[in-house]
Each structure stands twice: as structure tokens, then as C-alpha cells.
Structure 1
């Protein structure tokens, strides 16, 4: 089965094979593996030894994002969230339910937020301490670029929390270039092509130390993760982790380096997206985004207006042809989305397009323009 969703992604056999073992997470041999993973991840993030630390947490992207908000934004504190997609909507809820004040900056999910919009919102409310931004919106596929937004946050003397869950390892980013970033968060099962189960935060140590006592949660306190590492060692966990996922992630990092790291992975994903974006148009379908706003992670497509089209039968028809896509959408109008990340190639995307054409024919979908 060709898995074309934005995570968990299709993985290499070597990565999956690493899961097939029983591991004691506190064994000294595995402590060394875990400590090395933290250093490798910090390097990918462009962090510096002594200035940044890798703070893993069990669970999905929402868990690590909530932990970042709770840790770095004080209780009752105020943060700005550019709300131009479904995952920004979720960040608004995470922050609100954590007792933080949210200033939402509404925008369409068809283009990135601009530096001018951020600067104006920060100037209008001096009480805002942080901006929490989704790097790649996996509902639509747009990219909010920290190279554009970061300088506006820095110029205003505020801090940035970057949710790079579906972008990290593919889209260019370096903490060394962004002193305004308190933390960048991501997970094991997206562009680094590991298995799901581990969230990662790479954070400024000075900001972590200054945030002790903010979280209001033992489980979601990144400052506590840091203090535990100082006391028990960087190969130690607070609570039992998804240890097999970590073993697989270590292999995935080897494969990432062998491919050529971020530039090579971005180039492959970008070509995957280009092939698919052009290919759906050749089928008579309409991409949700203009190419100039299209990121490399996911291509979202308007559902055809033909009454014979319904998403689940379309997904089922594709699955019968060996291609699996998401059976839901996160946009304001009906769409379907196809992941371009994971251990897939442009040739795989061409195969998926052929299957898509057959599925549309099987369903009798002739009118393929959107409603």
C-alpha cells in the first residue's frame, strides 16, 4: 500500500524493522542511543550546544505543542496566533484551555501570514508576549515562513513558538538564525520519516530555565524535562517512552543523513508536490492553492462538483488500487488532501495519479471542476 497522508508517513523497511525488538528504556546501552538522538535532533534544528536543548515528550504533535505553550507562556499570559488554517485553530483551543489569553489573527488558509500583519497585531497589543505560529498548515498546504515572520517578532521584542510538526527536517530552518524563537516543536513520524509516538522540542536553555513553574502540569512541563536531564543524564526519561519508536527514529535519522539531510529531503518532497499539483490539473481537478503558495508537504484538491463524487467511495476506490489517502478534510470547502512526504518518490506520485484517474472513471465522475 502506498501511504500518501501527511503523517504517519510511509517509512523505509529498515526503519520499520528497528521496531521489532524488546528494549529496556533505562538500559545503559539504550540510554546512549537516546542521548545521541537528542544531540542529532538539536543539530538538525540548527541549535548550539550549551544554548539549546532537545526536550522530548511522549505523544503526538498536539501534546508537544500544548507543552510548549504551557511552558513558555505564563499562566494568564497573552499570545498571538495567526489563524490561517485548521491546525492554527487547534493551537487556539490548546492555548485557551491551558488558561492563556489568545489574540487570534484571522486570515485565509490559501496564503501565508505576512510580516506586516504580525507587526501590526503586536503593535496594537503590547501585552502579547509570544507569537505561536504553524510552520506548515497540513489542512491546506501553505507555509508560514519563519524567515519572514521571525524578524517582525524580533523587532517587536516578542518571542516565537514555532509549531513545525509537519515541516521540520524538510523546510529550511535554523535556530541559530532565530534568536527570537523560544522553541521549535515537531514529531518523529513526519518529514524525518520515523514512526509516530515521540514529540520533540528544541528550546533555548535560558528561556526554559526562566519558565520553571509556568506549565501547571507535570506531564506537559518542558522545564521539568530539562531539569530531569540535568539530574539523571541526557539518556534518561521521566516516564516510560515509546521506546521502539525511538529505536526506529534513530535508524530514520541515519537514512536522513545518507539522503543528504534537509536540502535533499526538501528537493524530493518539492518534486513530489510539483508532479502531483500538475497531475491533478491534467485530470481536470483543481488544486486548492496556487503554486506560488503551495508547500512541499501536502497538496490539497477541491472535490469535484459531480454528484457521483463522494470522498469515502473515492478513498475506497483508490485503496483498491493500492493508494491510501485521508478520508477527511480540514478546509472551509470540500477538498481532499494527498501527502507528498514520507519514503515516496515522484514516480510513486505518478502512479497515484494514474490510480486517481481510474478511480474517477470507476465512480463516473465526469464534471471535475469544483462546485
Structure 2
């Protein structure tokens, strides 16, 4: 695995943010697709990507692609790939995530069985054995089939990269850490200006912004799938992590989070401590309607309640209207609002300067972007 085709995946709509992150890490982009950024590197580069990328969902290794219009073709072309270059005779493996779009092959269960069988047959022939024990290193194979084109990947991350290790406690419908970081990246925030979330919930947005401000690699406190592989070099990875820890800096400014719920503030403080940013954040129980700031050139990112989450449309509408009044007093602040309510702009009282489609889980949302001196004076 010296020369790898590395693929970082992300939520649809965050491709621009992820592309910028990869370039900042020092890599050239090969290709951009919906939810995927391709670049080349070696094994160490793959480990660095897992450790440092903030808005990537997973880091994959692209293996091969081919057309398959039948299960026989799927079997034969999968079997043609030199799996023995990756898996030894004791390796465990399985297609764990399968997507199929506009293709003749659509039964995920059958696709999984056939790919597994094809790899087993190939390895049995190559290793001259009648049975594979699969008791060694375990590999997850990702399968994408779109318009009859099959693409196979290895999942180097394991669990999604939003699993940072700091959010053991969360409130209902929490925002994914990777989505929060993607929005922060799109906002242009670099950690040197005032930052606030006045409906912070369990504190995800504030904590992710503080980790960026302190240059804390988001993967420092978690495990990755590649750590169980035969190729894994613990000394190299320990060195990469040591360098990441040495690059952590004090936050130049304290980031502010407010919420009306005392329980949310308690959870946010606990999460911030686990993330190593409790020295860079301040959480306070406060109704967002009371928020005021004399600071200039700040950034505010908010994921307000949607009607589906509160259950009362009138309450949501009043919240958005009052939120609009709060923003009127923040003339020099940029504002980014992730919201699924179709009439947010109407009730907020201002049309966004820009908006972008994003998905919070399976829910379609819009990121409404407001800039200073454009209608909020």
C-alpha cells in the first residue's frame, strides 16, 4: 500500500470545505464527486487524513471499478482483482456498506454475498487452501454501484469520523461533529475572532470551533480500523500523533455558547472538558433573546430548533422572529444558520445573502448565510 488512491467522503454539500482541508494538509486534488474527494498518498498520508480531517465522514482507499450488468459479471470481475495483495490467508473481510443507484443490480444482500464469495474463491485458489479462517486483521469493504458501474473501497476509518470520543453525553437530535466542522470551515472562521452559538445545545458547534482555534486534531482520542491491519506501523502513527499534539496552541480568544436549558449547559461543559477545550470556551445558561455583544467582526453559527423537534409551530415562529431582532444588534457579525424549516427566512425577517443545501442526517436543511452591512443594520 505504498501508492494509494485515497478518498475522503463527506455529507453532500460539504465538498468545498473538505477540498480546502485536504489542500491545507498539503495534498493535490485528483477528482471531486458528490460526497467524495480523491487524492493520492501513501500509508502515512492515509493515517494523517484520518487524524486531521474535520469534516470528512470517512477516509477510504479506492481499489477498483468496473461495469457489471449481472451477478455473474459482478462475481467474475470482483474475483479478477488481486485481493491477495491486501489480504493474507487469515484476514477477515466483508462488504459492510453497499449503495446502489440506477443500476440493474439492486439487491444489497445478494451483492454482499456475491462479492464475499468471489473474494473467498480468489484467496482460496491463491493460498491453496480449502478454507479461510478469517481470524486475522479485519477489513471493511465499501461497495458503490451507480449506473451499473461498481466501485470498491477499503474503509480505513472504521466508525464514522464524527465519533471524536468527547461526546459521550448528548441531547436529543444532536448535530454531527463533522457537519458542524464543515459549516465552520465554510464560514471562514480561523479562531482569531469572536465566536458564538446562542442556542448551543450540548455544545458541538462551539467545541468544534474551539478545537480548530487550538489546532487540535479531531482524531486524537479515537481508534481507527487501520490500526488492526497487518500493514499498520505503530511507531509511525505514534510519531504522527506526537507531532499533532506538539502543534496544539492556546486559543487566542474565548468562544461563547448559550442555551436556555441548564442540562444542555452542563452537558456542553462536560463535553468541552473531554475534548480538551474547556480553557477556550464559556457556556452560560441564558435565553438567546438576552444576547448582546460589544465585540466586533464576530462569527455566529446556530442550529436552531425545527418545528419537528419542538412540536409547536407557533413557538418556532416566535423564536425565529426574536432571533432576527437579536441579530439586528450585531451589525459587524457574520451569521450562519442551519435550519430545516422552509419558512425560516420569512420569520427571521431577512433574506440570506447566500444559502446552501446540506443534510443533517437524512433531513434536508439549508445553511443560510448572512454577512455584515448587507441588510442587518
Taking structure 2 as the reference length, what is the TM-score of the superposition?
0.28
Q: Computing the radius of gyration over CA atoms, which structure comes out larger, 1 or 2?
A: 2
Bigger fraction of residues in strand: 2
Bigger fraction of residues in helix: 1
